[in-house]
Amino acid sequence: MTSTSTRPTRTTTPGPAGALPALGRIRPAWWGVAVLALVTLVVTNTASSYNVFVYDSILLAVMGAVALQVLQGTTGQFSVGNAAFLLIGAFSAVFVQREGLPFPVDLVVATVVAGIAGLIVGIPALRLRGLFLVLATFAAHFIATFLGNLYQGHHPEYAATGFFIPVLFADHPDGGGTAWSWLLFAIVALLILGATRIVRERSGRALRMIRQHEHIAPTLGIKVGRYKLLIFTLSSMVIGFQGALLAHLNGSVQVANFTLILAFQYVLMIVIGGLDSIPGAVIGAAVVIALPIAVPHILTGLHADSVDPTLSANFSLIIYGVAVILFVTASPDGIMGLLRALGRRVVRLPGIRDAYARAVAGTRG
């Protein structure tokens, strides 16, 4: 698993490495970003404004999924803290906005506050492993929810509606959906490239050593504590930033939106997509976010009449659950594992194998 995943985007965007050496030298992550740019271009030009909003939500979720992927998939620090850090980021943005500071400042403050909170949660991670770390982030979730409720309780006038926060790009003719898409694409692209840099080479090897043999890592000169705190802080900063952006996309912030189920969903994303794989996090986020939106369409397709929204929501829950159980039992490497297996099959097909051999021979000769 480790050796294949050091070049994460290979399977999604198989560059013709042998045939065109110049293309082969392009890092796989850049191929991933190029594909994402293409998808963004297509979506912003063809999709309805609602579907653009869905795409924006997916890109936003990709941020949290990639952050969790590096923390949990690569470093092995199992966390259910995503909802807590989202809440911290969103409420920091609300607080700063209510203090009267302008737009970009709240993003910065949210990122910094979430980073500090991540550092605090990361300190138990120096002592705790596995299950105990899950429970520590689980406790952190409830403490963050409590603080959010406390703040919300001080402003009872917003108890029912949540705090309002100006929606970004609301003055654009299309409601700002496409502007959001490009903004989020830029952020996600930077995040993917940065995260790929971390999970490759020296730091990547150190992180995987911490995941698999934490007690041996120090003997190889890996500073386990420093790496753990660094990854915890970075990932919570990303999630806090995502929380502030989420507030600006939705326009309102409420504690009730940041549930434990939301945190579970992020774990689902990386498990469905494939642990320790950045493209896996992207695919998983897309699947988990798009599923509850796709299910009503599938149900109407089957029944050919209107479907009760709660029914389809419950169907999505069941599909989530069955999917995660299937992946855990049958394909622990998630969708990326399936794709890699498929890629190996395809490469072994006689026609492709011969063409590949000829191409390799051609470049050598």
Q: Which residues bind another protein (CB under 8 A)?
A: 76, 78, 124, 127-132, 134-136, 138-140, 142-143, 145-146, 149-150, 153, 260, 264, 267-268, 271, 310-311, 313-325, 328-330, 332
Our CB check for another protein shows the closer of 19 and 317 to be: 317
C-alpha–C-alpha distance, residues 63 and 40, integer Å: 15
Residue with tokens 């998939």: 73
Residue 210 Cβ, how far from another protein at the closest point, in Å?
11
**Minimum CB distance to another protein, residue 22 (Å):** 41
- What's the rounded Cα separation, in Å, for the pair 58 and 292? 12
Q: 41 or 313: whose CB is closer to another protein? A: 313
Neighbours of 209 (CB within 10 A): 21
Distance CA 83, CA 255 (A): 10
Q: What are phi and psi of 339, to 5 degrees?
A: -65, -40
Report, in Å, the least distance between residue 224 CB and another protein. 14
Rounded to an integer, what distance in angstroms lies between the CA atom of residue 86 and that of residue 60?
11
C-beta closer to another protein: residue 130 or 362: 130
On whether the CB atoms of residues 75 and 228 are closer than 8 A, the answer is yes
Give bridge partners of residue 164 from the DSSP assignment.
252
In the complex, least distance from residue 97 CB atom to another protein, rounded to whole angstroms: 25
* 328 vs 347, beta carbon nearer another protein: 328
Helix (H) or strand (E) holding 164, with range, is: strand 163-164
* Measured distance CA(273)–CA(282) in Å, rounded: 7
Q: How far is the CB of 176 from another protein (least distance, A)?
A: 33
Rg (CA), the chain: 21
* Cβ nearer to another protein, comparing 326 with 357: 326
The CA distance from 89 to 203, in Å, is 27
Query: Which of 136/188 has CB closer to another protein?
Result: 136
Q: How far apart are CB 211 and another protein at their closest, in Å?
A: 9
